[in-house]
Amino acid sequence: MVSSYQQSICYIDPQSRNKTFDNLIVRFLLKKLLLYKRRITELIDIMSDKIERVKTLIIGSGPAGYTAAIYAARADLKPVMYTGMEPGGQLTTTTEVDNFPGYAEGVDGPTMMLELQQQAERFGTEVRIGMITAVEFSKEKGGIHKITADGEKQIEAETVIISTGATAKYLNIPSEQRLRGGGVSACAVCDGFFYKGQDVAIVGAGDTAAEEASYLANICNKVTMLVRKDQMRASKAMQHRVNSLKNIEIRYNTEVDEVLGEQVVEGLRMVNNQTGKKEDITITGLFIAIGHKPNTDIFKDQLDMDETGYLITKGKSTKTNLPGVFASGDAQDKEYRQAVTAAGTGCMAALDAERYLATIGSVEESVAGQYKL
């Protein structure tokens, strides 16, 4: 039997019980809502941090990339640039640039690249020190190109301008690497002027080496040409030109053993790869002309390239085989490879990108909200 006292303790008014239950439900739901709100906020933060929509993404810096950025920014394309591992490109390793218009007294490469970057930033370019590590280009006109930066950040771009350049091939001898910029160069047309009237050497056997040897012969006292095999790879016409110049001496079956000098090039130790005999000559400049490798591996199987990896563009434009993707600078130019010609193609790429966006109608503004919410 339950006493009246116990009944009075255990008894709960149904109305009060319903209110208590309702309060518990409300508190539980509020906690859940707060939890979901926090999670949604986190997801928004993740999305806005890792996925970004841009009108124009520029991959690579240097004269081509910075010039493209200047023109794109002035056209209100809001360019974002990823500089790559060598901001400023090959010119940052050049001590003196004497053939770029506008520098009456010349300028060193790093200073020139810094000034180009500052000019691009003045018009609104966002320059980021980083690497593009993966690309997934759209094949559709008006499609969005998906880019990965630094292995994790996701970018969606309406247009992409490639200015990744090309890397000169060197012999990778310690003394050669130590004296790069101190008399060792990979561009006779760029640096040959500084050795006017002096004795120099050039390494290479192809058309580029023959052409650069001929150029040097016109301004230098003597040019010693080192050919690794017993014959040149250059065309017969180029070989004839080299052989017709009396101040070019060709050394066949000859390689570089060591570049001599502490701070600057003072000489060269050569070795005959057939006899092993070594010989020292006095020179002030050594030019490496064994080729360039375009920095385009990341675009393989998506963009058309030639057999050596240079990007192929259509006609006199910078258009690649995919809509909205443009190539400029040494990544697509294996003929001239000069700072001023690279800058020219950078300008062209920005203009091509601007015209492309005009034909499709930029969708940046209409989708930006979904990332910012």
Residues classed as catalytic: 187, 190-191
* DSSP state letters, 121-153: HHTT-EEE---EEEEE---STTPPEEEEETTTE
Task: Name the CA dihedral angle for 183, 188, 194, 199, rounded to a multiple of 10 degrees.
Answer: 70
CA-to-CA dists, residue 308 to 60, 139, 351, angstroms: 19, 24, 27
Q: How far apart are CA 76 and CA 98, in angstroms?
A: 32
Q: How far apart are CA 336 and CA 363, in angstroms?
A: 37
Dihedral sign from CA coordinates of 232, 233, 237, 238: negative
Q: How far apart are CA 239 and CA 210, in angstroms?
A: 7
Residue type, 320: T
Q: How far apart are CA 161 and CA 299, in angstroms?
A: 12
CB 50 within 8 A of CB 152: yes
Strand order across the 267-272 sheet: 254-260, 267-272, 278-281
CA-to-CA dists, residue 80 to 8, 74, 100, 141, angstroms: 76, 13, 25, 21
* DSSP state letters, 33-54: HHHHHHHHHHHHHHHHHHEEEE
Q: How far apart are CA 267 and CA 284, in angstroms?
A: 7
CB 147 within 8 A of CB 156: yes
DSSP summary character for residue 78: -
